[in-house]
């Protein structure tokens, strides 16, 4: 009797509420995916196909043959990789300095990096457009990489600082006693140890750059059109063809979603320590 009560309690008190929240969190995404597998005729006559027998890949085929979706994905990829490289390369040495040295201005500089993520995008996007236009960089990959780096560099600096903080100082000191220089210790001892952190940070930068929309819309154009801008353009052109649109949504969200599942655990612990941009 007691056992049955506690089983009931765990079903109604834990399993069902959690299930409800999971359904709420995933419902819109699953609904989009189901729509993308429904043919246009079926959608208009009977609604979204819930029966796997009625599913079709026709929307995806049309999407890839009729639009430049594949090319847009390549542009997104170039911009995201460029941002990852720029963000990571500048932040490792900075994070090492923040973690290992105490120097005048340290606190101020750390705050400087943190405060960047608090500024409204709109405050940066207008002058960046004016500046890029002056430099003739509008509609190039460089413009988007630079714009994304405004977020990626500070984020990366904070994440790396918290990762390096978790490595005991005695390790670099031991390396230096063995004849390593400071930079040698950073390269040979610290870098290998924080490699998982570097990878997680890199993946996170990749995701945010891949997902970024406003900079891509403002600074991109005909030559460099990323996936997010392409999806938004599709919404304008194919309002009625929800099957095609949702196929674009599923494809556009896929890389980021998969990568995110890969790193989510490490990322959340890093975020709560550093409490940086989300």
Q: CA-CA distance, 71 to 252, in Å (whole number)?
A: 12
The only residue of 8, 12, 15, 57 in contact with another protein, by rule CB under 8 A: 15
Q: CA-CA distance, 274 to 270, in Å (whole number)?
A: 6
Q: CA-CA distance, 179 to 142, in Å (whole number)?
A: 41
CB of 107 to another protein, least distance (A): 6
The only residue of 214, 221, 238, 241 in contact with another protein, by rule CB under 8 A: 214
What the block records as the tokens of 218 is 């403002």
Q: According to CB under 8 A, which residues from 42 to 81 bind another protein?
A: 43-44, 47-48
CB of 223 to another protein, least distance (A): 19
The only residue of 78, 184, 191, 241 in contact with another protein, by rule CB under 8 A: 184
Beta carbon nearer to another protein, 57 or 111: 111
**228 is a contact residue toward another protein (CB under 8 A):** yes
**136 is a contact residue toward another protein (CB under 8 A):** no
Q: CA-CA distance, 100 to 93, in Å (whole number)?
A: 11
CB of 57 to another protein, least distance (A): 19
Beta carbon nearer to another protein, 53 or 272: 272
Of 1-9, 52-60, 64-72, 265-273, the segment contacting another protein by CB under 8 A is 265-273
Q: CA-CA distance, 130 to 136, in Å (whole number)?
A: 10
Q: According to CB under 8 A, which residues from 77 to 116 bind another protein?
A: 90-91, 93-94, 96-98, 100-101, 103-104, 106-107, 109-116
Asked whether 224 and 139 are in contact (CB, 8 A), the reply is: yes
E strand or H helix at 273: helix 242-274
Please list, in sequence order, all residues whose beta carbon lies within 8 angstroms of the beta carbon of residue 198, skipping any fewer than 6 positions away: 88, 92, 160, 163, 191
Beta carbon nearer to another protein, 52 or 120: 120
What the block records as the tokens of 201 is 């940070």
- What backbone torsions phi and psi does residue 238 show, to the nearest 5 degrees? -120, 40
CB of 83 to another protein, least distance (A): 12
What the block records as the tokens of 193 is 């140890």
Asked whether 212 and 150 are in contact (CB, 8 A), the reply is: no
- The pattern of x and - marking residues 191 through 210 that bind another protein according to CB under 8 A reads ----------------x--x
The only residue of 41, 54, 61, 119 in contact with another protein, by rule CB under 8 A: 119
**26 is a contact residue toward another protein (CB under 8 A):** yes
């Amino acid at each position: 009797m007691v056992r049955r009560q506690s089983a009931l309690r765990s079903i109604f008190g834990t399993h069902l509420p959690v299930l409800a929240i999971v359904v709420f969190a995933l419902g819109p995404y699953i609904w989009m995916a189901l729509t993308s597998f429904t043919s246009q005729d079926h959608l208009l006559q009977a609604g979204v196909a819930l029966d796997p027998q009625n599913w079709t890949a026709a929307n995806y085929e049309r999407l890839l043959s009729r639009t430049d979706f594949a090319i847009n994905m390549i542009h997104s990829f170039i911009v995201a990789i460029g941002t990852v490289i720029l963000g990571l390369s500048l932040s490792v040495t900075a994070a090492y300095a923040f973690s290992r040295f105490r120097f005048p201005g340290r606190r101020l500089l750390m705050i400087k990096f943190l405060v960047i993520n608090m500024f409204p995008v709109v405050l940066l996007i207008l002058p960046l457009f004016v500046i890029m236009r002056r430099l003739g960089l509008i509609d190039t990959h460089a413009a988007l990489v630079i714009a994304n780096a405004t977020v990626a560099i500070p984020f990366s600096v904070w994440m790396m600082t918290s990762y390096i903080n978790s490595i005991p100082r005695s390790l670099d000191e031991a390396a230096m006693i063995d004849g390593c220089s400071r930079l040698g210790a950073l390269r040979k001892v610290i870098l290998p140890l924080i490699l998982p952190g570097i990878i997680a940070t890199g993946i996170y930068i990749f995701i945010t750059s891949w997902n970024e929309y406003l900079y891509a819309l403002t600074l991109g154009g005909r030559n460099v059109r990323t996936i997010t801008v392409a999806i938004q353009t599709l919404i304008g052109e194919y309002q009625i063809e929800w099957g095609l649109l949702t196929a674009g949504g599923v494809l556009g969200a896929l890389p980021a979603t998969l990568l995110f599942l890969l790193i989510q655990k490490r990322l959340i612990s890093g975020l709560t320590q550093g409490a940086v941009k989300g």
